[in-house]
Copies of this chain bind each other. A is one copy, B any other.
């Protein structure tokens, strides 16, 4: 890793070994406490959303992921429930206290998403959508910025610079798999990106094992690897009946599978303060 590659990184670079950004949401200090985000790919009907949410709460999860506006490869695929989805997320937020992590796609839907989101997610395809980066940089909510599918770490950090340079220091990075020749997974999880990024930047770094895996069976092992390597959190597609998910059904896991990951986090607890994720007895 030649440092010259990162010479334009002004705001993202660590100043010293202990320099880290802590982002406080509710009682969770992201960057310090383990950040567990779970939920379905898309917002689905209110009833199933409530049942998933209740299960998450029972397991100590405090952040719900679900997309109301979905970026889909095909214009003919389901594009998300839109405003109706936002309304469902609002109800859940109010009743369960779950914090909402949801994707913002563009200027058109910005205000709708902003109305409910606690963390604004920028997806992989938009990592270099500089207008959108500047837009989320002009407000104060934390931004979960996914790595682009073929972005180098320096390009990725420059995307974070776009956000921070507008005045928003609260960026959470997320490794989610890169595009390689390899075809046994949907994308190749670049697990080494976690320690490489943490060596360079003070920003929190989490992992999305679901989009890398592309299949359910790999999500638990990839999650364990991410926890062991020192990721600051995970974002996992989770459903009550995974095979019936409206989108990304192949890679969603069940709440009980999520439990196995939570147990692994607890088992590592000597190394990291996971206290905020606890089972309700």
Contact = CB atoms under 8 A, between A and B. Distances in A.
Interface of A: 1, 8, 10, 71-77, 105-108, 125-126, 128-132, 134, 149-150, 152-153, 155, 158, 161-162, 165, 178-185, 188-196, 199, 212-213, 215, 217-218, 221-222, 224-230, 264
Nearest to A109: B131
A130 B106 CA distance: 9
Nearest to A162: B75
Contacts of A221: 192, 194-195, 229-230
B184 A1 contact: yes
Contact of A158 (B73, B184, B224): B73
B161 A74 contact: yes
A188 B147 CA distance: 15
Contacts of A72: 130
10 contacts: A8-B76, A71-B128, A73-B155, A73-B158, A129-B129, A178-B181, A180-B190, A188-B188, A192-B213, A195-B222
B158 A131 contact: no
A222 B161 contact: no
Give the number of copies in the complex: 4
Given A73-B158, A184-B153, A221-B194, A108 B131 contact: yes
A152 B149 CA distance: 12
A92 to B, nearest CB: 26
B75 A130 contact: yes
Contacts of A179: 150, 179, 181
Contacts of A105: 130-131
Sorted nearest first, the 6 A-B pairs with minimum C-beta distance are A228-B228, A150-B150, A106-B131, A225-B225, A125-B128, A195-B221
A278 B189 CA distance: 32
A195 B105 CA distance: 33
Nearest to A191: B191
Contacts of A165: 75-76
Contacts of A191: 189, 191, 222, 225
Contact of A218 (B131, B195, B213): B195
Nearest to A190: B188
B178 A184 contact: no
